[in-house]
């Protein structure tokens, strides 16, 4: 199956700093990538939908100026958590749709655990 990677897998940062997380589709092109956040013992919450070459679509309640998303190519999307605070500590997971494969199947990256001190 299709492979999606994320980097870094784990990051610890100080409050007020910015953190960039990369999501790459390794063996397929992804016009659409999704960014999720998952708090302990909770389900995945969609933060935003990232489309190559256009602005991301953010879910209600997600601050676009705090969570900057860039989808510059068909294989790479980045999420930057700006001015991170302890409440931003979470498990961030990206997923990507294969193109021109099944429009509904998503392939998930391994996730990035962010801890803000």
Partner 1 sequence: GQNIDQPTEMTATEGAIVQINCTYQTSGFNGLFWYQQHAGEAPTFLSYNVLDGLEEKGRFSSFLSRSKGYSYLLLKELQMKDSASYLCALSPGGYQKVTFGTGTKLQVIP
Residue ranges binding partner 1 (CB under 8 A): 1, 32, 34, 41-46, 49, 91, 93, 97, 103-111, 113
Q: Which CB atom, from 44 or from 76, has the smaller least distance to partner 1? A: 44
The burial of 48, by beta-carbon neighbours within 10 Å (0-12 exposed, 13-18 middle, 19 or more buried), is given as buried
Cβ-proximal residues to 63 (8 Å cutoff; 6+ apart), any chain: none
Q: Which CB atom, from 62 or from 82, has the smaller least distance to partner 1? A: 62
Give least dist CB 95 to partner 1, A: 8
Give least dist CB 30 to partner 1, A: 12
Query: CA–CA separation, 38 vs 55, rounded Å?
Result: 23
């Amino acid at each position: 199956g299709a492979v999606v990677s994320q980097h870094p897998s784990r990051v610890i940062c100080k409050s007020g700093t910015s953190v960039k997380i990369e999501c790459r589709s390794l063996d397929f092109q992804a016009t659409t990538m999704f960014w999720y956040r998952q708090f302990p013992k909770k389900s995945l919450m969609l933060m935003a939908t990232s489309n190559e070459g256009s602005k991301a679509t953010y879910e209600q309640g997600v601050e676009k100026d705090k969570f900057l998303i860039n989808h510059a190519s068909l294989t790479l999307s980045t999420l930057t958590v700006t001015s991170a605070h302890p409440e931003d500590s979470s498990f961030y997971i990206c997923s990507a749709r294969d193109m021109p494969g099944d429009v509904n199947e998503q392939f998930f990256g391994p996730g990035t655990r962010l801890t803000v001190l």
